[in-house]
Amino acid sequence: MVGLLSLIVLTVVVGVLYPVAVWGVSRINTTGAEGSFVTTQSCTVSDNLGVDPQVPAGQPDPFLHTRVAGGVDDPMAPGDPASSGASNLGPNSPELVEIVTARRAIIAAREGVTPAQVPSDAVSGSGSNLDPEISPAYAALQIPRIARVTGLPTARVREIVEANTSGRQLGFLGEPRVNVQQVNRDLGVGAQHCR
């Protein structure tokens, strides 16, 4: 009898009251609880998803780009929020080497540098392939192209990137990172790639 009473009480507390309390607290500040959406020029995107902006072939590319998510067939495919996930290819995988080599060559050509100058995060996907941030090194590599295409002075593009760069968490955790979507919005090109 005591066991059955304990089961009923714990089911009500853990299965009903606790979830209702958590849901209630989440309603206090709905701007953060609903996915951090940002609307610009009738386009709504999530600040927490790094979907790589694309331009038609042969068109000028004004965007700061995120990490890529493609495979062997299309190494530069943009991240797709509907199908996030890692490839599970290990460091000794010939397929991964082929993908990274292709990405490095494509990015080097796009940025006008040698493949050796392309940072590692530019050619490697994140765990979910939807990381909204990149390293300051990858952002710096893209600054000359962005300045050339947008007509902005290089120093102004660099200021925008620096304004959207976060340091290590608590001063020692993680790495410095650049918010790609916010940089693109500040450059005035963020809403052009909405889908």
pLDDT per residue as tens digits for the range 56-91: 878 888 989 888 766 555 666 555 555 555 667 788
Give pLDDT tens digits for 89-148: 788 889 888 888 988 998 999 899 999 999 998 888 766 667 788 999 999 999 999 999
Cβ neighbours of residue 191 under 8 Å, at least 6 residues apart? 40, 41, 42, 43, 185
| Mean pLDDT, rounded, for 166-174 | 88
Q: pLDDT tens digits, residue range 15-49?
A: 999 999 998 887 787 555 556 666 655 456 666 66
Burial 54-73 (b: 16+ CB within 10 A, else e): beeeeeebbbbbbbbbbeee
Angstrom distance (rounded) from CA 23 to CA 152: 46
pLDDT of amino acid 66 = 85
- d(CA 152, CA 57) in angstroms, rounded, equals 22
Distances (CA, A) of 147 to 40, 63, 121: 22, 10, 22
pLDDT of residue 117: 95
Please list the alpha-helical segments (H only) found in 51-135.
94-111, 120-123
Q: Model-level pTM?
A: 0.72
In order of 16, 24, 74, 104, the CA distances from 134 in angstroms are 41, 34, 21, 15
| Token pair for 34 | 């609903």
Between helix 136-150 and helix 154-163 the angle, nearest 10°, is 140
| Confidence at residue 195, expressed as pLDDT on a 0 to 100 scale | 46
- Can you tell me the mean pLDDT for 172-186? 89
Tokens at 52, concatenated:
């790589």
